[in-house]
Amino acid sequence: MFKITTTLTLLLATTLGGHAQGAVIADPTLASGPNAIDPAGAETLDQTPATTSDGLAVTAATEASLEARNDFRVVQNFTGFGNTTNTIHFTDPTLPDIRFTREQVSATPNDFGEATSSDGFNTSAGAAIRLRNNSGGNKTTRVRFDFGSYDAGSDTWDGSVNAISAASINLINLSPGMVSAAASFYAEDGTLISQQTLTAGTDADTPGSGATDGLFALEVDGSTPLISYFDVRIVYPGGIKTVGLDDLGFTAIPEPASLALIGIGGLLMIRRGRDARTAPAAFLSH
Ligand SMILES: [Ca+2]
Ligand SMILES: [Ca+2]
């Protein structure tokens, strides 16, 4: 099953990879439940991001709270990702499609976003996403994970729909000498919901020397806008520096409250109708 899925994924990535929109990865295998995030434990997510003190009320979510949700899924393998735009497309209509884009904030275009199978940047089996400053001086790169809808027929992306209630990504090997990384979570109207930061070289196991691994994560409740997209912004020093992103977590698309109520009402009506039909039969059988 795994081989079939991988083959299909590679086939699609190969077929569509040359298109201007980049690679399209169809129905990647999803993990859920305990250890869906960082199942290997090889790169311990030992630093909790600081939430910035700019008045944003929503704080980082924990790995345990996300894994406890029955609507939470994780992509662990990014095989097929190329170095520009990548789209994950699900045939399951309850799941948002996901588009990954990379923006070179500083001048020189020598960062990457493609898949890497290096153990040093993975928190799970299968490839992670590699981001690298390949040479030269300080650089900043921003990558975006947008939850939306992809239409395969017209090859078009709509990022203004399918916002969700929780999302996460692992950041791996923010090595000493690197500067920092921040994640910003946004609503569909562009409102900033939460901003979280990790600082390089502050590993909890080996302070001052170890590379930082951390989890950027957010859960919103009914009083907060849903998550439409989030950005990860990384500041690199000069020289060759690489970080990994792995285990992209997200929830199913929440059902609108009105539809949920109609659904409950409909079930009650069906049940009532069935009870009305079966009650006489049950009575007669006695
Ligand atoms: Ca992985
Ligand atoms: Ca979106």
The span from the CA of 30 to the CA of 133, in Å, is 30
Question: Are residues 240 and 269 both part of a single domain?
Answer: no
In which band, very low, low, confident or very high, does the pLDDT at 132 lie, cut at 50, 70 and 90?
confident
Ligand of minimum distance to the alpha carbon of 40: 1
Compute the distance from residue 276 Cα to the ligand 2 centre, in Å.
45
- Residue 58, domain extent: 2-254
Question: pTM of the entire structure?
Answer: 0.80
Compute the distance from residue 160 Cα to the ligand 1 centre, in Å.
28
Judged against a pLDDT cut of 50, whether residue 76 lies above it is answered with yes
Per-residue pLDDT at 21? 64
98's tokens = 């996901």
Question: Are residues 165 and 277 both part of a single domain?
Answer: no
Question: Are residues 173 and 125 both part of a single domain?
Answer: yes
Around ion ligand 2, residues with a beta carbon closer than 5 Å are 146-148, 159, 228-229
Question: Are residues 191 and 260 both part of a single domain?
Answer: no
Compute the distance from residue 134 Cα to the ligand 1 centre, in Å.
22
Count H helices, E strands: the chain? 3, 16
Helices (DSSP H) in 33-110: which residue ranges? 63-67
Helices (DSSP H) in the chain: which residue ranges? 2-16, 63-67, 257-285
Q: Is 55 exposed, middle or buried (0-12, 13-18, 19+ CB in 10 A)?
A: exposed
Question: Are residues 77 and 154 both part of a single domain?
Answer: yes
Question: Are residues 186 and 278 both part of a single domain?
Answer: no
| Model pLDDT for residues 210-243, shown as the tens digit of each residue | 778 889 999 998 888 999 999 999 888 777 788 8
Question: Are residues 232 and 134 both part of a single domain?
Answer: yes
| Model pLDDT for residues 6-50, shown as the tens digit of each residue | 444 444 443 343 344 689 999 999 999 999 999 977 566 767 777
Question: Are residues 206 and 268 both part of a single domain?
Answer: no
Question: Are residues 286 and 154 both part of a single domain?
Answer: no
Ligand of minimum distance to the alpha carbon of 225: 2
Query: How many domains does the chain divide into?
Result: 2
Ligand of minimum distance to the alpha carbon of 120: 1
Q: What is the CATH number of the domain that holds 232?
A: 2.60.120.260
Question: Are residues 231 and 280 both part of a single domain?
Answer: no
